[in-house]
Chain A
Amino acid sequence: MRYLLLSTFLLLLAFCAHAQTRVVVKGRMVDTTNAALPFTTVMLLTPKDSALVSYARADEKGAFEFKNVKRGTYLLKTSYTGYLPFQKEFTPGEAAVTDLGELTMKPISKELFEVVVKTAKAPLNIRGDTIEYNASSFKVPPGSTVEDLLRRLPGFQIEQDGSIRAQGQEVKRVTVDGKNFFGGDPKTATKNLGAETIDKIQVYNSKSEQSKATGIDDGKKEKTVNLALKEEYKRGGFGKIKAGVGTDERIDVRGNYNKFDDKQQFAVVGFGNNINQSGMSWDDRQDFYGSSAYRWDETDFGFGGGLTGSDGGGDGVIIQGGNVIIMNGGGGDRGFNNSYAGGLNYNYETKKKKFSSNYYYNQRRNWIDQVSKRQSILADNEFETNTTSNEYTKNDNHRVQLRYEDNLDSLNTLILIANGTINNQTYTQGKQEENLRSGGRLTSQTTQDNRNTSQTINFSGSALYRHKFKQKGRSFAASATFNLNNGDADGLQKSDNEFFVPAETGALPPRQLNLLTDNTNRQNQIRTSLFYVQPVTKRIAWESFYNFGVRQDKVDRNVYDQQEGNRRNDTLSRYYTNQVMHNRLGTGFRYNYKGLNIGAGLAGIQMNISGRFATDQNASQFMNVDRSYTVVVPGVNMNIDLKNNRYLYMDYSGSVQQPSVRDLQPIIDYSNPLYITQGNPDLKPTVSHNAYAGFQYFNPSSFTRFFGNINYSYNVNQVVYSQTIDSLLITRTKPINLTGGQNYGTYLNVGFPLKKNKANIGLNTSINFGRSYTLINEIQNRTNSNRYNWGLNLDLTPSENFTFYGNANWSYNLVKYSINTGQNQNIWNSSYSGQMNVKGPWSMYFNATFNYNIYKNDRFGLDQNIPILNMAVYKLLGKSKKSEIRLSAYDVFRRNLGINQGASGNFFTQTQVQTITRYFMLSYTYNMRGIKANLRNNGGF
């Protein structure tokens, strides 16, 4: 059929042209011994661009013939396995037949053919007299020099003195990327350069130095070897640095440096600022961690919950005035922050082995001045708590992460992970709080002064092993994790409490408290997990998992009363040890076929919590808690890959969470006299049921998208804190189990272009109905929170010089309390925001973002409008645009108030934190890879 095609093509040509313009071209292919080369492929190309005009195949005698060839100049090229392609340029003469005669093809040297082409599978380039092949195809041990590499290459010989011979001739020159290397002595290049830097080795005959100098070709040719470097070795490292100073002594300095190639990645990062940016930006984070930025190793196989790492049962958590302060987090970027951080990261990756390591240090000092108002709803009335507090927290954090993965062979993988952190924290808090009855009658007042210093050391190590069996789909995985957590904390709690109404019942709490706390806790945890998959049919697999975990805590808390000469307070002091044991066994089936993936299974979870506690470790009598639970939860999920970028998914699962150890201890803690907590040894684990279903669609050519989902959750034996509030407005809380808390909602999002590449619009809406229960003064309250949300976004990208991104969001929240309907609230929050980018002349750019937030609450008469405008003007400098100078203004209207409001359970809170307001900053950025001003938000890649 090939001939048919060809002849049709030629026949067609023949019709349009005169017969005289056509010639017959023939010849005969032979080798160097004049033997015929049968069936050689013969091609006719145009000489200027090697375009294929026609091709034919020689007969068994090596003879070929092209009929009806249009007159012109051609390049005849022939190919025969094991021979160097032959080429010859020719122009047919006047005669009707052009006979090219015998054309001789040279064999490729045996070495080149066998070693380069057949064994190393490297492409062989023939460029006139240059033969070039890919050096990376030849395996040499890491750390080898180019000399070691050359030894392996066919046609090369390395003499005793290091001189090189290529194809028998001495190599006079070695160039690197065409340039002489260190004065031109061939040995310096080959002895010093690493083999891994070389991409290609080219050998050719160049004119001698003399003929180059004189311009007269003396006919002498020198063997020259050129080493072409791999792309990544042409570049060194790269990095960027930014420094900015502003009004109000605002400072922002940050920088990073990276160097990477196919195997190794190295990064340094560092920053310091007082503009509330205590973490790395998303991009900086990716540059720092490199290939390990998104690595996640699942070590607990299966589903059903119950194997949480820690539950806050004394580890790294201190209770202060009823607030729970988690030592490693907390604070956020509220208030004022001074942050410093620096780190090093090194990754090494090959197909077989992967290693990543990093060290990161960060320090943050945080100041918070906060005013908050809290409305608590009771059965027949309500009360208000007004708090003014100032807090200072200093966190010093060191972290080391190591990970090693070894793909032992195609069937076995081993992963080892070790992480360690040390955190030092200093915390001080001054707080004034007053409780008012409805009508503004002052009931109690407290002034507190709390100080705390603590150190937490955490270490965790995991080993993960995966094995694939020869049978396809059959696999096994095992993991073991060890976790150690040590915390030491010293605290001072002072409070002065005043009550303005007589106590109805019980004794008046102490007027003054002055407590010294010394808290030590040790926790260790071991978890193991097994997973096994057995294919049943081609489409169905049976999966099973088993998890075992044991956690031991030891907490020694000594509280001394400073008012009574540091006498030990036996009510508040405690010593306890406890052990939590988990067993989880589950099994299920998975079906997958052509984008329909279904999984269904059951998990049985057994938990045992046992503990001993007393006021002191030497106590004669210990109290015991011993609880066992067994729960069975299902798990079902389904994913359907419909045609044309449409996906449908559904998921339902149950999960179990154990009660925290602190909640289980029947100990009364009155270290905050207005908020007294008590544990409950009768707590049962919480089982939550979660279901969701969603659909998504994206049209990549019209850029239309649609996304929608519905979700539902229901809690059985949820741990909630019952509250008893007495006439003095002292709150006593106790954890209890309540069933019935639930949440359901839906979310829809649609986006499409109004005008392609000029204007896009997006609409979204969500509706959420939540129901939660609490027990207040022995009466069950049900809080219904119905939230409706609408959003609109508009992207305008009319030209390369102007873009605008607008956003509007409206939300309405109706909160209803069953015990006191008079307190029902309507909360309106709206926000409008816009971002504008303009490109001006002389590489000048302007950027402005505006956020306008409106908070309304009819119950409290709240109506607050907060406009925040940020602006920046910047200019890219230099031809290569590697640096940028920027003048920015933050919160131009000085309106940043740090407002937060929310309703949950039986209360509504509103807090206001003093935070950074207007400042101006001048900054300079230098980026070794150049800076790109981005007017458009990236569409993702």
Chain B
Amino acid sequence: MKKKVIQTLILLVTTLSLVQAQDIEGVVNYERKTYWTKLIAKLPFLSQEEKDRAKMMWGNDDEEKTKLKLVFTPAQSVYTYESEQGETDDGRWSWRQDDYLVQRDFDKEIITEWHEMGGKTYLIQDSLKIPKWKILNQLKDVAGHVCMKAEMEDPANQQKIVAWFADDLPVSAGPERLFGLPGIILELDYNDGVTVVTATKIDLKKVEPKQLVLPKMKGKKINLAERDRIIKEHIKDSIKAQRNPYWGIKPWN
């Protein structure tokens, strides 16, 4: 009996959210955490001893947190920082955020990405290209939604990206540079947990046009192929020079 009630409840909740699914829109807040010692453990030029040393010293204290937000409508999505500056928990110190914005126009099938990488700001404009996703057999709860696992190989950054998407929120939008799944992406995992982007709050409501207004973005204009080439080259050079490539180019660039 109890089982039936719960099932009905689940059904009801899902149906309710699906009723609105036709033109679902809103804001999702994400927290991006990067674990530097996990990243160090991936560097091919370091010995096991050096990796263990880094993990021992910083393993419990290597989390770097940033808050970002995704504003989406059926027609477009904009993903950028929640606030224009980064600051320590006590607020005594602040820093400038890297230039970073990802906009997708689903109607016109155009992407605009504004990235600071390798000490330079780029403005990437190209047509929308859906990542090659694989769907896997795992379920997980993220921010109250049961999500399914999908995976892709990032050819430029040479990293595995895992996405958890909620098919009860049927929009193909997502945080960072990723999208194109049957539901909204609520969690991303780069390179086996080096960087994890998780939804902290989902607010489904009508998006005001001003929430989608883009800031003034200046930078060198390139397309996606050029971006891939810059990243590949930088990673290759850095690894060869035995230098951590991620000081210049981040997993999410």
Q: Return the CB mask of A271-288 against B: 1 if under 8 Å, else 0.
A: 000000000000100110
Which residues from chain A contact B21 at a C-beta distance below 8 Å?
Answer: 39
A2 pairs with B54, CB closer than 8 A: no
Query: Which residues of chain A from 279 to 306 have a CB within 8 Å of any chain B CB?
Result: 283, 286-287, 289-291, 293-294
A700 pairs with B140, CB closer than 8 A: no
A81 pairs with B14, CB closer than 8 A: yes
| Among A644, A931, A940, residue most surrounded by chain B Cβ atoms (within 10 Å) | A644
Q: Return the CB mask of B121-154 against A: 1 if under 8 Å, else 0.
A: 1000000101011111111111000101110000
B140 pairs with A121, CB closer than 8 A: yes
Which residues from chain A contact B216 at a C-beta distance below 8 Å?
Answer: none
Given contacts A283-B53, A592-B87, could you give 17 more A-B pairs where the C-beta distance is less than 8 Å? A38-B18, A41-B182, A51-B133, A52-B133, A81-B146, A85-B139, A110-B6, A117-B146, A124-B139, A258-B52, A260-B56, A265-B56, A291-B57, A595-B96, A930-B49, A936-B242, A941-B40
With contacts A79-B148, A291-B61 taken as known, whether A126 is within 8 angstroms of B137 at the C-beta atoms is: yes
B138 pairs with A52, CB closer than 8 A: no
Residue of B nearest to A110 (CB): B3
Residue of A nearest to B144 (CB): A118
- Report Cα–Cα, A440/B156, bound state, in Å: 77
Residue of A nearest to B128 (CB): A5
Instruction: Specify which of A50, A472, A594, A643 is in contact with B135 (CB 8 Å cutoff).
Output: A50
Which residues from chain A contact B109 at a C-beta distance below 8 Å?
Answer: 5, 8
Which residues from chain A contact B50 at a C-beta distance below 8 Å?
Answer: 941
Minimum CB–CB distance from A116 to chain B (whole Å) comes to 9
- Report Cα–Cα, A4/B75, bound state, in Å: 11
With contacts A43-B135, A77-B135, A475-B90 taken as known, whether A118 is within 8 angstroms of B141 at the C-beta atoms is: yes
B15 pairs with A38, CB closer than 8 A: yes
Which residues from chain B contact A510 at a C-beta distance below 8 Å?
Answer: none
Query: Which residues of chain A from 40 to 80 have a CB within 8 Å of any chain B CB?
Result: 41, 43, 45, 49-52, 55, 57, 77, 79-80
B94 pairs with A927, CB closer than 8 A: no
Instruction: Specify which of A80, A293, A590, A929 is in contact with B57 (CB 8 Å cutoff).
Output: A293
| Among A125, A238, A294, residue most surrounded by chain B Cβ atoms (within 10 Å) | A125
Residue of A nearest to B37 (CB): A941
A323 within 8 A of B: no
A938 pairs with B242, CB closer than 8 A: yes
Instruction: Specify which of A82, A107, A238, A930 is in contact with B146 (CB 8 Å cutoff).
Output: A82
With contacts A52-B181, A124-B139, A290-B56 taken as known, whether A82 is within 8 angstroms of B248 at the C-beta atoms is: no
- Report Cα–Cα, A541/B120, bound state, in Å: 33
Segment of B26-34, B165-173, B199-207 engaged in the interface with chain A = B165-173
Instruction: Specify which of B92, B149, B230 is in contact with A592 (CB 8 Å cutoff).
Output: B92
A701 pairs with B95, CB closer than 8 A: no
Which residues from chain B contact A82 at a C-beta distance below 8 Å?
Answer: 7, 10-11, 14, 146
B positions within 8 Å CB-CB of A: 2-3, 6-7, 10-11, 13-15, 18, 21, 40, 43, 45-50, 52-61, 74-75, 84-85, 87, 90-96, 106-107, 109, 116-121, 128, 130, 132-142, 146, 148-150, 167-168, 170-172, 181-183, 230, 234, 237-238, 240-244, 247-249
The B contact surface, by secondary structure, is mixed
- Report Cα–Cα, A123/B48, bound state, in Å: 29
B118 pairs with A701, CB closer than 8 A: yes
Which residues from chain B contact A931 at a C-beta distance below 8 Å?
Answer: 47
A932 pairs with B139, CB closer than 8 A: no
- Report Cα–Cα, A79/B167, bound state, in Å: 7
A756 pairs with B237, CB closer than 8 A: yes
Residue of A nearest to B105 (CB): A1
Which residues from chain B contact A110 at a C-beta distance below 8 Å?
Answer: 2-3, 6
With contacts A291-B60, A294-B57, A349-B60 taken as known, whether A757 is within 8 angstroms of B241 at the C-beta atoms is: yes
- Report Cα–Cα, A669/B73, bound state, in Å: 86
A566 within 8 A of B: no
Which residues from chain B contact A702 at a C-beta distance below 8 Å?
Answer: 119
The A contact surface, by secondary structure, is mixed
Which residues from chain B contact A80 at a C-beta distance below 8 Å?
Answer: 14
Residue of A nearest to B89 (CB): A468
Residue of B nearest to A290 (CB): B56
With contacts A52-B150, A290-B56, A594-B85 taken as known, whether A121 is within 8 angstroms of B141 at the C-beta atoms is: yes
Minimum CB–CB distance from B181 to chain A (whole Å) comes to 7
Minimum CB–CB distance from B157 to chain A (whole Å) comes to 15
- Report Cα–Cα, A39/B15, bound state, in Å: 8
A473 within 8 A of B: yes
Instruction: Specify which of A52, A108, A468 is in contact with B134 (CB 8 Å cutoff).
Output: A52
Which residues from chain B contact A81 at a C-beta distance below 8 Å?
Answer: 10, 13-14, 146, 167-168
Which residues from chain A contact B40 at a C-beta distance below 8 Å?
Answer: 941
Instruction: Specify which of B74, B181, B234 is in contact with A701 (CB 8 Å cutoff).
Output: B234
Instruction: Specify which of A49, A85, A701, A930 is in contact with B148 (CB 8 Å cutoff).
Output: A85
B85 pairs with A595, CB closer than 8 A: yes
Q: Which 9 A-B pairs rank lowest in CB-CB distance, beginning with the nearest?
A: A700-B248, A939-B243, A701-B118, A595-B96, A41-B167, A473-B91, A932-B47, A123-B140, A1-B106
B75 pairs with A533, CB closer than 8 A: no
Minimum CB–CB distance from A543 to chain B (whole Å) comes to 8
A238 pairs with B52, CB closer than 8 A: yes
Which residues from chain A contact B49 at a C-beta distance below 8 Å?
Answer: 238, 240, 927, 929-930, 932
A699 within 8 A of B: yes
**What would be 12 A-B contacts, judged by CB atoms less than 8 Å apart?**
A41-B182, A52-B134, A81-B14, A289-B57, A290-B56, A293-B57, A595-B94, A644-B120, A938-B45, A940-B243, A940-B244, A941-B243
A645 pairs with B119, CB closer than 8 A: yes
B96 pairs with A123, CB closer than 8 A: no
A1 pairs with B94, CB closer than 8 A: no
Minimum CB–CB distance from B198 to chain A (whole Å) comes to 10
Minimum CB–CB distance from B96 to chain A (whole Å) comes to 3
| Among B3, B121, B141, residue most surrounded by chain A Cβ atoms (within 10 Å) | B141
Which residues from chain A contact B106 at a C-beta distance below 8 Å?
Answer: 1-2, 4-5
Which residues from chain A contact B15 at a C-beta distance below 8 Å?
Answer: 38-39
A597 within 8 A of B: yes
Q: How many residues of A contact B (CB 8 A)?
A: 89
A positions within 8 Å CB-CB of B: 1-2, 4-5, 8, 38-39, 41, 43, 45, 49-52, 55, 57, 77, 79-82, 85, 87, 107-108, 110, 114, 117-118, 121-127, 238, 240, 258, 260, 262, 265, 283, 286-287, 289-291, 293-294, 349, 351, 468, 472-473, 475, 533, 535, 541, 590, 592-597, 641, 643-645, 698-703, 756-757, 797, 927, 929-932, 936, 938-941
- Report Cα–Cα, A468/B88, bound state, in Å: 13
With contacts A700-B119, A930-B47 taken as known, whether A291 is within 8 angstroms of B141 at the C-beta atoms is: no
Which residues from chain B contact A8 at a C-beta distance below 8 Å?
Answer: 109
With contacts A52-B133, A294-B57, A593-B94 taken as known, whether A122 is within 8 angstroms of B138 at the C-beta atoms is: no
A941 pairs with B172, CB closer than 8 A: no
Minimum CB–CB distance from B38 to chain A (whole Å) comes to 11
Residue of B nearest to A473 (CB): B91
- Report Cα–Cα, A595/B96, bound state, in Å: 5
A5 pairs with B130, CB closer than 8 A: yes
Residue of B nearest to A31 (CB): B7
B6 pairs with A541, CB closer than 8 A: no
Which residues from chain A contact B168 at a C-beta distance below 8 Å?
Answer: 81
Which residues from chain A contact B56 at a C-beta distance below 8 Å?
Answer: 258, 260, 265, 286-287, 290-291
Residue of A nearest to B60 (CB): A349
A117 pairs with B140, CB closer than 8 A: yes
Which residues from chain A contact B135 at a C-beta distance below 8 Å?
Answer: 43, 45, 50, 52, 77
Minimum CB–CB distance from B230 to chain A (whole Å) comes to 8
Which residues from chain A contact B75 at a C-beta distance below 8 Å?
Answer: 1
Which residues from chain A contact B94 at a C-beta distance below 8 Å?
Answer: 592-597
B134 pairs with A127, CB closer than 8 A: no
- Report Cα–Cα, A898/B220, bound state, in Å: 56
B134 pairs with A701, CB closer than 8 A: no
Which residues from chain A contact B14 at a C-beta distance below 8 Å?
Answer: 39, 80-82
- Report Cα–Cα, A124/B48, bound state, in Å: 32
Minimum CB–CB distance from A330 to chain B (whole Å) comes to 30
Instruction: Specify which of B74, B90, B120 is in contact with A533 (CB 8 Å cutoff).
Output: B90
